[in-house]
Structure 1
C-alpha cells in the first residue's frame, strides 16, 4: 500500500502543491494580521487573546484546505475517471480496491497534513511575532501553544475527512467543477460563523457536527470503491 501511495505521489507530482500550500498559508495569515493590526485602532474591536486571534485563522484555514482537498481528489480520482485513464489503470495486475484506496489515502493524508501543518506554522509564527507586533492583548506562552496541539490534530483529521464528501457529488457526473463547487458550499456551511455582536456561533464549534460529517466523508470514500471490482468504469 505504501508503495502504491508513493507511486501515486510521483505520478501526480504532488510536490507541486507545496507552492499552493505556502501561498494559502501566507494569504490567510497576512489577511488576519491586517485585520488584527487595523482593529488595534478601535479598542472595542481589538483582539483580546491568542484564542481570539487564532479563531479566524482556523476558520479560513478549514475552508481553504477543504477546497484544496477537493482539488486533490479531482486530480487523483475524478479526472482519471472522466478521461478514462482509470480504465487503463484497472488493467494492471493490481486490485481495483487497493488502487482506489491508495488514491483516497493520499488525498486524505495530504489534506489533513497540510491543514495541520498550516495552522501549527501560523500558531508558531504568532508566538514569535506577538512580542513585537502586539497582534492581540496579552501574551502567549509556549505551554499555551503546546496545549493547542491536540485540538489542532483533531481539527485536521476531521476536516480532512469532511473534504472527502465532495467525492460523492463529483463521481456522479465525473465532474471536477462539481467536486470543487460542492467543497466550497460544504466548507462554508461547516465553518461559517454567526455573531450577534457579542457571542459567536459556528457549526464547527459543536463537536458532534463535524464528527458526523467526518464519518460521512469516510463512508462516502468507502462506498466509492466497495463494489469497484464488479462495476464497469463508465
Structure 2
C-alpha cells in the first residue's frame, strides 16, 4: 500500500499541483483584508478563524473534485490505469491508495491554508488594529480541531467525486455534486450544536455508503 501511495504522489508531483494550491491559498487569503476593514467588519479572532476555514474548505473541495477527475477518470480515459492492473495488486488497494493521497492533500491544504490565512490576518491587524480580542491558546486548539475536521470531511467528500469519476463517469454530475456540497456546508459552524451541523455528518454517511458500489464496479469492470 505504501508503494502505491508513493506512486500516486509522484504522479501529482510531476503535475506541480501543490504550487497551484499554494498560489490559490495566498491569493484567497487576501479576501481577509477587505472583510477586516469593511463597514460590517469582523471584530473577533473567532470570526476570522471561521471565515478562514470556510474559504479553505471551499478551496479543498474544488481541488479534490479536480484531483478525483485526474486520478480516476483521466486514467481510465487514457487507459494508463491498465499498467497498474497488469501487476498482481488488488484493485481495491489501488483505489484506496488514491483515496489516501487525496486525504493527505486535504490535510496539507487545511494546515497550510490556516497558517497563510491567519498570518495575513495577524499582520493586517498588527499594522492597522481591527480585532477587539486577543489571540489565545484556546483558539490554537480550535484551529487544530477545525483543520483535522475539515481534512477528514473533505476526504469523505472525495469519495463522492470518485463515484462520479469511476462508476458514473460524468464530469457534469461531479461538478453539480461539488456545488451542492459547497452550498450545503458553506455556513456551518461545527463548534455550535445546531441542526445544520448534521449536514456534514449526513454527507459522510452517504460517502461511506458509496464505497460499496465503487469497489464492486472497480473489481468487475474492465478498461476498454
Q: Scaled by the length of structure 2, what TM-score is found?
A: 0.83
Find the counterpart in structure 1 of residue 150 from structure 2.
155
Q: Give the C-alpha shift of residue 177 in structure 1.
A: 4.9
Find the counterpart in structure 1 of residue 12 from structure 2.
12
Find the counterpart in structure 2 of residue 217 from structure 1.
207
Q: Within 5 Å, which residues of 2 pair with 1:41-120?
A: 42=39, 45-120=40-115
* CA RMSD in angstroms, aligned pairs only: 2.6
Q: Within 5 Å, which residues of 2 pair with 1:121-160?
A: 121-160=116-155
Q: Give the C-alpha shift of residue 210 in structure 1.
A: 0.6
Pick one of 166, 185, 188 that aligns with 1:190.
185
Q: Distance in 2 between matches of 1:172 and 1:98?
A: 17
Unpaired runs of 5+ residues, structure 1, are 194-201
In the superposition, relative to structure 1, how do residues 176 and 116 fare at CA in structure 2: closer, same or farther (>3 Å)? farther
Q: Give the C-alpha shift of residue 102 in structure 1.
A: 0.8
In the superposition, relative to structure 1, how do residues 142 and 123 fare at CA in structure 2: closer, same or farther (>3 Å)? farther
Q: Distance in 2 between matches of 1:215 and 1:15?
A: 32
Q: Distance in 2 between matches of 1:20 and 1:54?
A: 23
**Range that drifts further, 151-160 or 136-145:** 136-145
Q: Distance in 2 between matches of 1:147 and 1:87?
A: 44
Does the aligned pair in 1 maintain the 2:52–2:118 contact within 8 Å? no
Unpaired runs of 5+ residues, structure 2, are none
In the superposition, relative to structure 1, how do residues 112 and 214 fare at CA in structure 2: closer, same or farther (>3 Å)? farther
Q: Distance in 1 between matches of 2:145 and 2:189?
A: 19
Any idea what the Cα deviations from partners look like across 1:71-92, whole Å, max 9, x if unmatched? 1111111111222222342122
Does the aligned pair in 2 maintain the 1:78–1:171 contact within 8 Å? yes
Secondary structure of 1:207's aligned partner: helix
Q: Scaled by the length of structure 1, what TM-score is found?
A: 0.80
4+ long deviations beyond 6 Å: none
Q: Give the C-alpha shift of residue 222 in structure 1.
A: 4.9
